[in-house]
């Protein structure tokens, strides 16, 4: 299932053209899907009621695609960087492809390039991306822009925070984890950021063209 429907790096043999869509409906475990579906219900319901079903689905899918695009771009930068290093050390394209397939290289070459750098490239090439989190971040941004003063209760600590403050804080946290080696798990932080950026751009465009409150289900 994951080989077919999870999002893979485009040069990975397991990549298929439908994965930018299908990965949004795949999840890592029960906790993952329950958390995302709770967020979608909580923040997506008022948007769907305001916009209508068609407009909401369009926004949701677009945010998910934007999330995948940014995360894959980050992976691509990493893979291209490793490819360039290996090419400079005299490896052919076939040898580089074999490295990504097997993870094996000459010991002296590993020491010269750096094991961490090579491992990062393999991780990016073989990464699997699943879940609706990127699309959910687009929903969060839209919610904060439409209902900025709604009070949201944090779990830890249990204090109320307005949506217009909470959502930027969440994005800043993802930026921190994305640009550092720290993380709370196998989380595609740049996918969250990509979904948020896409959501913001769409909301800005709709507001500029007075489309925010126009339903598509007529």
What domains can you pick out in the chain, each with its CATH number?
Answer: 2-208 (1.20.1540)
Six-digit token string for 179: 């640009």
Beta bridge partners of 129: 7
Provide the residue-wise pLDDT of the chain in tens; the chain has 218 residues. Answer: 888 999 999 999 999 999 999 999 988 888 888 989 999 999 999 999 999 999 999 999 999 999 999 999 999 999 999 999 999 888 888 888 988 888 888 777 778 878 888 888 999 999 999 999 999 999 999 999 999 999 988 777 788 999 999 999 999 999 999 888 777 767 889 999 999 999 999 999 998 887 766 667 65
């Amino acid at each position: 299932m994951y080989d077919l429907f999870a999002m893979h790096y485009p040069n990975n043999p397991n990549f298929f053209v439908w994965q930018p869509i299908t990965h949004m409906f795949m999840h890592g475990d029960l906790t993952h899907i329950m958390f995302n579906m709770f967020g979608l219900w909580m923040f997506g319901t008022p948007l769907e009621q305001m916009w209508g079903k068609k407009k909401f689905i369009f926004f949701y899918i677009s945010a998910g695609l934007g999330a995948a695009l940014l995360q894959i771009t980050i992976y691509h930068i990493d893979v291209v960087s490793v490819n360039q290093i290996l090419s400079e050390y005299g490896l052919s394209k076939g040898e580089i492809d074999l490295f990504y397939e097997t993870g094996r290289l000459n010991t002296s070459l590993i020491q010269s390039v750096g094991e961490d750098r090579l491992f990062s490239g393999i991780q990016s090439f073989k990464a699997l991306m699943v879940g609706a989190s990127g699309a959910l971040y687009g929903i969060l941004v839209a919610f904060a822009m439409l209902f900025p003063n709604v009070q949201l209760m944090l779990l830890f600590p249990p204090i109320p925070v307005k949506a217009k403050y909470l959502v930027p804080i969440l994005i800043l946290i993802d930026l921190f984890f994305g640009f550092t080696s720290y993380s709370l798990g196998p989380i595609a932080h740049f996918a969250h950021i990509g979904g948020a950026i896409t959501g913001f751009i769409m909301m800005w465009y709709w507001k500029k063209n007075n489309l925010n409150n126009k339903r598509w289900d007529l």
